[in-house]
Amino acid sequence: MTAVNSSQVVNIEDLRRLAQQRLPRCVFDYLDGGAEAELTLAENCRAFREVTFRPRSAVAVGDCDLKARVLGHELSFPAMLAPVGYSRLMHPGGEVSAAQAAGEAGTGYILSTISGHKLENVKAASRGPVWYQLYLMGGREAAEGALDRARRAGFSALVITVDTPVAGLRERDSRNGMKELLGSSLLAKFPYFPDFLAHPGWLASFLLDGGMPKLENVVIPGKGPMELVDVSAALAQAAVTWEDLRWIRQLWSGPIVIKGLLIGDDARRAVDEGAAAVVVSNHGGRQLDSVSATLRALPEVVAAVGGRIEVLMDGGIRRGSDVVKAICLGARAVLIGRAYAYGLAAAGHAGVTRALQIFKSDVERTLRLLGCPSVKSLDSSYVETPRTWDAR
Ligand SMILES: Cc1cc2nc3c(=O)[nH]c(=O)nc-3n(C[C@H](O)[C@H](O)[C@H](O)COP(=O)(O)O)c2cc1C
């Protein structure tokens, strides 16, 4: 298999191809796929193509300043790693490797509740900011335990994902055996054995890592860490409402970030409820299909928030030029999901590092080509959006 640092790996699509080679089909499609007809998944990426740049030519730009400030943290460039569940299935290093690579690159990592490594180990692996993403799975006591551990471990913000009242229908997962892989029946896994055996590198590392990881950060009182197999059912009972926020606020005194908003009214509500930031997100097209691309939803949310809190966005970001476009349209920074997870799946820590290098050098080159000296100077004058995108 091609090494992630080879000259053959120049963009995120190259890392995606390597991930596809290393992973069995069910794990790759879990990572790569979206909900239902995958309309929003495709739209998230397509929206970036509709926005074009308006460069300032013949401008000498010295050293570009790529830094961005997010909730008081100075990031080396304006992209953090989004929470990605089941990362340990993709590579044994999972969340620990991703957090470590993010810290080394001078940026932050958001740990999903659906994680196979203990949150304390994830925090210890990174020298950058690490935030905890909360799902209310396993009940309130499990959430209280996780928040207490996260606070003591030094997580600096809490991210509450609000777009998962139930899990979206990821049709590829149903067809390719993801449910069977996560389940406890060996017999049900049997039809998928040829696929696992055809990916010996992944299979060996999965078995050496002890097989299916438990959810180390969802500890059910009296029972211990939750089994992965329970996740879909647990998510269906874990919907977060605005009322829950008040209860969570009593447990978490640090900044709270609301992830999964697409409309201005919800963003205003988040401000009123005391959020420190919102993430314009449709869960990477994995939840409600046919919602609009996040880049398209971003200006409405930015206008609604009116600078009172920070606005982040994610969805469809595969190149540094995508990061720059999102900043031009008002995001303080972006989260990247699949783009780094492809790197993780391809080669663990080295793969995430490569993904971040690609993004960072893309962002710098794009700024230079735009004739813009810093991320902080980017604004809407550097881009052209289609007329049909007018903000509400
Ligand atoms: C495999 C996978 C697992 C995810 N798991 C979670 C999760 O556990 N919690 C969460 O809030 N978002 C989760 N997300 C959504 C991401 O945080 C992010 O919103 C999305 O990936 C952004 O879109 P992108 O993949 O196009 O960058 C997941 C996304 C993927 C691809």
* Beta strand 277-280 pairing with 310-314: parallel
Label residue 323 left, alpha or beta by phi (over 0 means left) and psi (-120 to 50 means alpha). Answer: alpha
Residue 337 beta carbon below 6 angstroms from any ligand 1 atom: yes
Query: Which helix (H) or strand (E) element contains residue 349?
Result: helix 338-370
E-assigned strands of the chain?
52-53, 68-70, 73-75, 79-81, 109-111, 130-134, 158-161, 215-220, 224-226, 256-261, 277-280, 310-314, 333-336, 383-384
Ligand 1 nearest atom to the CA of residue 159, by list position:
11
Residue 275 beta carbon below 6 angstroms from any ligand 1 atom: no
What pLDDT is stored for residue 183 in this prediction?
A: 82
Ligand 1 nearest atom to the CA of residue 30, by list position:
1
**Ligand 1, atom 14: closest residue by C-alpha:** 84
Q: Is 283 known to be catalytic?
A: yes
Question: Nearest CA to 268 among 295, 305, 235?
Answer: 305
Query: How far is Cα 342 from Cα 14, in angstroms, rounded to an integer?
Result: 9
Question: Nearest CA to 310 among 273, 268, 278, 262?
Answer: 278
Residue 168 beta carbon below 6 angstroms from any ligand 1 atom: no
pTM above 0.75, yes or no: yes
Give SS3 for 53. Answer: strand
For the chain (392 residues), the mean pLDDT of every run of 10, in chain order, is: 88 98 96 97 98 93 94 98 97 98 98 97 98 93 96 98 93 88 85 94 96 93 86 80 93 97 98 98 97 97 98 98 98 98 98 98 97 97 91 56
10 Å CB burial of residue 60 (0-12, 13-18, 19+) is: exposed
Ligand 1 nearest atom to the CA of residue 32, by list position:
31
Residue 176 beta carbon below 6 angstroms from any ligand 1 atom: no
**Ligand 1, atom 29: closest residue by C-alpha:** 84
- Out of 117, 199, 283, 349, the active site residue is 283
Contact yes or no for 97/117 (Cβ under 8 A): no
Indicate the top mutation candidate among 286, 292, 298, 323 to test ligand 1's pocket, ranked by most ligand atoms within 8 A of CB.
Answer: 286
Question: Nearest CA to 68 among 349, 374, 301?
Answer: 374
CA 375 / ligand 1 centre spacing (Å): 25
Residue that has been written with the tokens 């009172």 in this structure: 308
Q: What's the angle, vertex CA 207, arms to CA 206 and CA 209, rounded to 5? A: 65
Query: How far is Cα 337 from Cα 158, in angstroms, rounded to an integer?
Result: 18
Residue 170: count of CB within 10 angstroms of its CB: 21
Query: How far is Cα 250 from Cα 236, in angstroms, rounded to an integer?
Result: 24
Tell me 307's DSSP state.
Answer: T
**Ligand 1, atom 2: closest residue by C-alpha:** 84
Query: How far is Cα 103 from Cα 125, in angstroms, rounded to an integer?
Result: 8
Residue that has been written with the tokens 């940026």 in this structure: 107
**Ligand 1, atom 21: closest residue by C-alpha:** 337
Query: How far is Cα 41 from Cα 318, in angstroms, rounded to an integer?
Result: 12
First to last CA, the chain: 49
Query: How far is Cα 52 from Cα 173, in angstroms, rounded to an integer?
Result: 35
Contact yes or no for 333/75 (Cβ under 8 A): yes
Query: How far is Cα 260 from Cα 163, in angstroms, rounded to an integer?
Result: 5
**Ligand 1, atom 4: closest residue by C-alpha:** 84
**Ligand 1, atom 1: closest residue by C-alpha:** 31
Residue 217 beta carbon below 6 angstroms from any ligand 1 atom: no
Q: What is the DSSP string of 246-301?
A: HHHHHH--S-EEEEEE-SHHHHHHHHHTT-SEEEE--GGGTSSTTPPPHHHHHHHH
